[in-house]
Amino acid sequence: MLERAGQFEPQIVAFCCNWCSYAGADLAGVSRLQYPPNIRIVRVMCSSMVHPNLVIDALTKGLDGVVMCGCHPGDCHYIEGNLRAKKRAEAISLLLEDFGLEEERFRLEWVSASEGAKFAQVMREMVATVRELGPRPYLC
């Protein structure tokens, strides 16, 4: 757990699809758009590759939040990968409830390669939301 002047600082992972949202994150960086350093980006080929077990493992083994970013519906390089990701996100929400974790610790967002500002805004919002929730509860 990170701390800044006694304030809880969440650790969050962002799974970003290679074709759109990772490029959006890159655009945010080269445009020098600010977002908190609490985010760790993991590039995946498609948001549909983020299995619910991966998200649950991240949240039960130490991370405070997870963001899954993919291409906008209709723009997926793998035709319907983002629609599959949406179905997985719904399953993740149910699993979070089973584990006693707040639904707000997980977020699905569509970010295109040209939306660097949106990527930065989503990350700022996610950090603020999880910071407000506080540290995740201890899980065995």
Position 38 in a domain: yes
Tell me what the mean pLDDT of segment 69-76 comes to. Answer: 95
**pLDDT tens-digit series, residues 33-72:** 999 999 999 999 999 999 999 999 999 999 999 999 999 9
Whether 5 is in a domain gets the answer no
In a domain, 7, yes or no: no
Give the integer Cα–Cα distance in Å for 78 and 6: 45
Of the candidates 68, 61, 75, 81, the residue with the CA atom closest to the CA atom of residue 114 = 75
The count of domains in the chain is 1
| 44, 74, 137 from 62: Cα distances, Å | 21, 34, 10
- Answer whether residue 2 shows pLDDT above 60: no
pLDDT reading at 5 higher than 70: no
What angle is formed at CA 58 by the lines to CA 57 and CA 62, rounded to 5 degrees? 110
Q: Which three-class secondary structure state does DSSP give residue 132?
A: helix
The contacts of residue 90 (CB under 8 Å, 6+ apart) are: none
Pick the range with the lowest mean pLDDT from 4-8, 115-119, 127-131. Answer: 4-8
Is the pLDDT at 140 greater than 80, yes or no?
no
Per the CB < 8 A criterion, the answer to whether 21 and 52 are in contact is: no
Judged by DSSP in three states, 2 sits in strand
When pLDDT is cut at 50, 70 and 90, the band that residue 7 belongs to is confident
Please state, in angstroms and as integers, the Cα–Cα distance from residue 11 to each residue in 88, 94, 128, following that order: 22, 22, 11
Whether residue 3 is predicted with pLDDT greater than 70 in this model: the reply is no
Global pTM value = 0.92
Tell me whether residue 3 is in a domain: no
Q: Does residue 9 lie in a domain region? A: no
Considering the domain boundaries, does residue 55 fall inside one?
A: no
Domain enclosing residue 113, as ranges:
28-49+61-140
23 assigned to some structural domain: no
Q: Retrieve residue 39's tokens.
A: 């985010």
Q: Is residue 16 part of a domain?
A: no
Average pLDDT, rounded, for the chain: 93
Q: What is the pLDDT of residue 137?
A: 79
Among 53, 38, 49, 43, which residue's Cα sits nearest to residue 22? Answer: 43
